Amino acid sequence: MPYQPKLLSKAQWEVLFQKLALRPTAAMSDVFWNPNLLKLVMGGEGSGKSLHGALYALNCLANPNPNVAKPLHYMIVGDSYAECRPEFKYLLEFVNQLGLLQSKKLPDDKDEPCNLITKTGQEFYTYSAKDPMKISASGVTPHGIIGC
């Protein structure tokens, strides 16, 4: 049976936002409270898409499926590794704040891949879409994808 993530409830999101000392805007709330699994967030430069993507990635941390073998692999995919950095850095910050960081790789070179592993069995890796064969060759079936 394929992996079926369970979305957080409004009450669970509110607790998570409180732990992170964040207050979602009305537009953000519309997306977070929406029961659809697939989300598409669009906006201009500086509109909060990266923050939104990283917050949404927290769904898998706060609501893991105990029936799925660990680790759970999540891809953060952008046109380049540098394009993935904002989402990754926000996610890293949130995972740190929640005390769930097990390990991380954040190279100084923005053209290098990043990853983080949580104490709860999730792994997040950045991928550059410039080389789709490399993504395919990883041999990993992702449990979730964040497009940057």
- pLDDT exceeds cutoff 60 at 94: yes
Find, among 70, 97, 75, the residue nearest to 148 by Cα. Answer: 75
Instruction: Compute the radius of gyration of the chain from its Cα atoms.
Output: 15
60 or 94: which leads in pLDDT:
94
Look at residue 117 in the predicted model and tell me its pLDDT: 94
* DSSP 8-class letter at 126: E
Locus of tokens 């080389």: 131
Look at residue 66 in the predicted model and tell me its pLDDT: 64
Phi first, then psi: what are they for 20, rounded to 5°?
Answer: -90, 0
- pLDDT exceeds cutoff 90 at 60: no
Q: How far apart are the first and last CA of the chain?
A: 28
- Please write the tens of the pLDDT for every residue from 39-54: 777 777 777 788 888 8
d(CA 53, CA 23): 15
Residue range 118-143: mean pLDDT, rounded: 85
- pLDDT exceeds cutoff 90 at 9: no
∠ at Cα 133 (129, 134), nearest 5°? 75
Name the pTM for this structure: 0.86
Report in angstroms the alpha-carbon separations of 143 from 3, 24, 34.
7, 25, 20
